[in-house]
Amino acid sequence: MSETMRVVEISQSGGPEVLKPAEREIPAPGHGQVLIKIAYSGVNRPDALQRAGMYAPPPEASDLPGLEAAGEIAAVGPGVDDLEVGDEVCALLPGGGYAEYAVTPAAHCLSVPKGMDLKLAACLPETYFTVWSNVFQRGRLQAGETFLCHGGSSGIGTTAIQLARHFGARVFTTAGSPEKCTKCKELGAERTINYREEDFVEVLKAEGGANLILDMVGGGYIKRNLQALAVEGRLVMIAFLSGPKAEINFAPVMAKRQTITGSTLRPQSDLAKARIAESLKAHVWPLLEAGTVGPIMDLEFPLEKAAEAHARMEGSDHIGKIVLKVA
Contacting residues toward ligand NAP, per CB under 6 A? 44-46, 126, 130, 150-151, 153-157, 174-176, 180, 195, 216-217, 238-239, 241-242, 263-265, 313, 316
Give the nearest distance from C-beta 23 to ligand NAP in angstroms: 28
CB closer to ligand NAP out of 74 and 297:
297
Give the nearest distance from C-beta 262 to ligand NAP in angstroms: 7
Q: What CA–CA distance (Å, rounded) separates 26 from 128? A: 27
CB closer to ligand NAP out of 92 and 288:
92
CB closer to ligand NAP out of 27 and 96:
96
CB closer to ligand NAP out of 5 and 47:
47
Give the nearest distance from C-beta 47 to ligand NAP in angstroms: 8
Residues 165 and 191 sit within 8 Å (Cβ to Cβ): no
CB closer to ligand NAP out of 133 and 258:
133
Q: What CA–CA distance (Å, rounded) separates 60 from 294? A: 32
- Residue 194: exposure state from Cβ atoms within 10 A (0-12, 13-18, ≥19): middle
Q: Where are the beta strands (DSSP E) in the chain?
A: 4-10, 19-25, 33-43, 68-76, 88-92, 101-105, 109-111, 146-149, 170-175, 191-194, 210-215, 229-237, 259-262, 297-302, 321-325
Give the nearest distance from C-beta 268 to ligand NAP in angstroms: 9
Q: What CA–CA distance (Å, rounded) separates 161 from 76? A: 36
Give the nearest distance from C-beta 176 to ligand NAP in angstroms: 3
Q: Which residues pair with 210 in a beta bridge?
A: 229
